[in-house]
């Protein structure tokens, strides 16, 4: 089952750097109608079209540096939209690259991705939305000495938008992971200037359901109903395990499974396939207790077999804990899943498990190639976070 635009929604939205569609899904859930989308990643656009019925050719695989706002206006048959959303690529600002000096310090390396926000603002200047929303990593504030952070603020002001900055911890909005991001929300200067208030959603439901024992949705709540797999096991299309789900509901309740993951709208389980692992990795997995990483294991005197530097990769092997938040889902999952070992099974997370941690509903389908699935899921904005932002924007409009 695919989400369709809400016919009653009056507010229109254009998604730049749309990826697989996490932002668009969240904004549609907040009541917006996504009228167009662009990303130069062809497979991601294929995923977008598959899951947003009716978008058709208004979701286009193109480079925003050469596909002009005027061309987009012709494609979507309008030159005004209420909101523009987007997430210019974050690698040029990521703190993960602080170690090699590419984004920070005296040896910073030029990266053309850092200026893609300018292409975003060209669209803003052309379409004159009432509000724009730009998402990125927290490292944007400090990368290259804060140069691009200050430029974004100045450039937005120069085209007539006042900027509000929101730091978001995804778990506050019901997403079971430690993801932290920054959102720039630009409000057109001729509109009444109101503070855009985001409302965390986790606390009331969780405290009522669990008697105050749990504050956040946990990894276990998100994935432990899924059929168990061995490394390399699973099928692209499979059946759910009804008995396992019933036990899961007895422990965790129905809210995340049915309200967020919408399992009732997914007749089949897709993308629950585990990647294979070497015998060496599997032996290393076995010595990791729930919630442990390789550093803590070796600190208690157990020698692991992995060949990587203990100094640089002290947490490279991490078994997640079912009663805690998951580590931040990232696109690196497409390369290996060593930091995302299942809490109780001797394997790394599957694409469907990663998608659930990102708050994608189970009916949302990804390409068949597992590497591509991981990349698209890791690059996405969690729909629950996008919905929270969308609801806040909708309220002031």
Coil, strand or helix: which one is 251? Answer: helix
Whether 18 sits among the annotated catalytic residues: the reply is no
Residue 8 CB neighbours (<10 A):
7
Structural contact between residues 31 and 390, judged by C-beta atoms closer than 8 angstroms: yes
Annotated catalytic residue, options 13, 18, 90, 326: 90
**Which pair of tokens denotes residue 231?**
């490394």
Structural contact between residues 41 and 55, judged by C-beta atoms closer than 8 angstroms: no
The DSSP 8-state label assigned to residue 260 in this structure reads I
Coil, strand or helix: which one is 109? Answer: coil
Cα separation, 290 vs 25, in Å, equals: 33
The separation between CA 240 and the C-alpha centre of its own chain, rounded to angstroms, equals 24
Residues in the chain: 397
Cα separation, 179 vs 173, in Å, equals: 11
Burial category of 213 from C-beta neighbours within 10 Å (exposed 0-12, middle 13-18, buried 19 and up): exposed
Active site residues: 90
């Amino acid at each position: 089952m695919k989400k369709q635009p809400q016919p009653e929604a009056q507010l229109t939205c254009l998604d730049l750097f749309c990826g697989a569609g996490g932002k668009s899904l969240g904004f549609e859930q907040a009541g917006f109608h996504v009228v167009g989308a662009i990303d130069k990643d062809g497979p991601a656009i294929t995923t977008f079209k598959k899951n947003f019925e009716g978008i058709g050719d208004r979701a286009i695989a193109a480079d925003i540096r050469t596909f002009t706002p005027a061309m987009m206006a012709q494609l979507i048959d309008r030159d005004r939209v209420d909101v523009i959303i987007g997430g210019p690529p974050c690698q040029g600002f990521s703190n993960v690259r602080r170690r090699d000096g590419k984004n920070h310090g005296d040896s910073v390396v030029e990266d053309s991705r850092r200026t893609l926000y300018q292409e975003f603002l060209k669209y803003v200047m052309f379409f004159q939305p009432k509000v724009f929303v730009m998402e990125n990593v927290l490292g944007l504030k400090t990368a290259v000495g804060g140069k691009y952070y200050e430029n974004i603020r100045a450039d937005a002001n120069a085209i007539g938008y006042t900027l509000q900055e929101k730091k978001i911890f995804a778990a506050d909005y019901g997403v079971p992971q430690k993801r932290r991001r920054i959102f720039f929300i630009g409000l057109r200067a001729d509109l009444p200037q109101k503070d855009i208030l985001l409302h965390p959603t986790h606390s009331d439901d969780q405290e009522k359901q669990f008697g105050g024992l749990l504050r956040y949705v946990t990894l276990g709540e998100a994935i432990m109903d899924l059929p168990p797999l061995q490394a390399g096991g699973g099928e692209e299309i499979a059946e759910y395990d009804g008995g396992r789900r019933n036990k899961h509901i007895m422990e965790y309740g129905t809210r995340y499974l049915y309200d967020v993951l919408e399992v009732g709208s997914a007749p089949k389980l897709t993308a629950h396939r585990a990647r294979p692992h070497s015998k060496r990795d599997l032996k290393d997995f076995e010595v990791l207790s729930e919630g442990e990483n390789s550093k803590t294991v070796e600190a208690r005197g157990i020698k692991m077999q992995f060949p990587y530097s203990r100094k640089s990769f002290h947490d490279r092997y991490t078994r997640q804990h079912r009663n805690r938040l998951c580590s931040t889902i990232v696109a690196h999952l497409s390369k290996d899943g060593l930091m995302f070992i299942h809490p109780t099974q001797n394997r790394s997370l599957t694409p469907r498990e990663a998608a659930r941690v990102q708050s994608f509903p189970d009916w949302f389908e990804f390409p068949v190639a597992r590497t591509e699935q991981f990349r698209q899921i890791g690059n996405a904005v969690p729909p629950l976070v996008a919905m929270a932002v969308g609801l806040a924007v909708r309220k002031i409009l």
